Amino acid sequence: MKLLKSITATILLLTSAATLAFDPVHGGGGYIGLQVGAIKADSKVSVILPVPAVPAVPPVPTFTTFKLDDDSIDFGLLEGYGILFDRFYLAVELQQRMGRIQPAKTFVIPPPTPAAVSPGTATFKIDLREPFSFNFIPGVYLNDNILFFLFIACSNVDLRFREFINPSGGGTTLNLERSKFDFKIKYGTGLHFFLDDTWGVRLMYSYLDYPGFDFVDPNPVAPATFTIRSTKEQQFWLGVTYSFGGGDEESY
């Protein structure tokens, strides 16, 4: 969020110094676009294990927190409509993401006794999807061809937590799966470079905070409690847009 505030303050300072005499090459209307993004995600997960009736030797911790992270490339589609008010711009937009990001972490399952052979590993994986978002985009032209914009979006998100058991003898078993669907607010900022009244290039940064939730492992022997504490995405997008109504300025 500090990065977003710094970028916004810098661009607004440049805006105040920009010339008021301008003739934007793009005046609004409908548009579509295709974008590619670099996505960085991290999630913090806490696990509370039940206290054993007979204390283990050496003692096994009953509470732990670990971090899952991942970097990925994603693709998206844009459809929107914008209006130009003198030098100010306002658009509403539907953004669709094609892929998902999967932070994961693998742990060695401790043997039941020091002399026993470890049965394998456990892998915790989180699937993050943002199928679509509705974006509200206010902006201001810095000159005839460059639009600076902020946006706030209502994003449909899907967070799915999975635990896989990987025995030492081979194979993988899905031991636990829980999911959370929700709508979250996403923030961002960016620059739109209009090459002419139809084609443009857009750079955008956005920040998305996924919902957290608690659940209990249904294992009757050791019903651990999991807490998805904090899951965040930073998104860096590069897009190409095609406008249908360029040049139709609305004056107010």
**Strand residues in 142-224 grouped as ranges (E):** 146-167, 173-194, 199-210, 213-216
Q: Match 């939730």 to its residue by tokens.
A: 213
Distance of CA 73 to the CA centre of its chain: 12
Write the pLDDT tens digit of every residue in 216-233: 776 665 667 778 877 889
Higher pLDDT, 191 or 21: 191
Determine the residue type at 29: G
β-partners of residue 181 are 158
Indicate the average pLDDT of the chain.
77
Q: Match 């693709």 to its residue by tokens.
A: 75
Asked whether 193 and 202 are in contact (CB, 8 A), the reply is yes
Write the pLDDT tens digit of every residue in 145-169: 899 999 899 998 888 888 777 766 6
Predicted pLDDT at 247? 45
Determine the residue type at 174: L
Residue 75 in this model has a pLDDT that exceeds 90: yes
Asked whether 124 and 108 are in contact (CB, 8 A), the reply is no
Residue 104 in this model has a pLDDT that exceeds 70: yes
Residue 192 in this model has a pLDDT that exceeds 60: yes
Q: How far apart are CA 81 and CA 71, in angstroms?
A: 31
Residue 188 in this model has a pLDDT that exceeds 90: yes
- Judged by average pLDDT, the poorest of 34-48, 53-67, 137-151, 222-236 is 53-67
Asked whether 177 and 162 are in contact (CB, 8 A), the reply is yes
Can you list the alpha helix ranges (DSSP code H) found in the chain?
2-17
Question: Is the peptide bond prior to 58 cis by the omega test (within 30 degrees of 0)?
Answer: yes
- Beta strand 199-210 with 173-194 is antiparallel
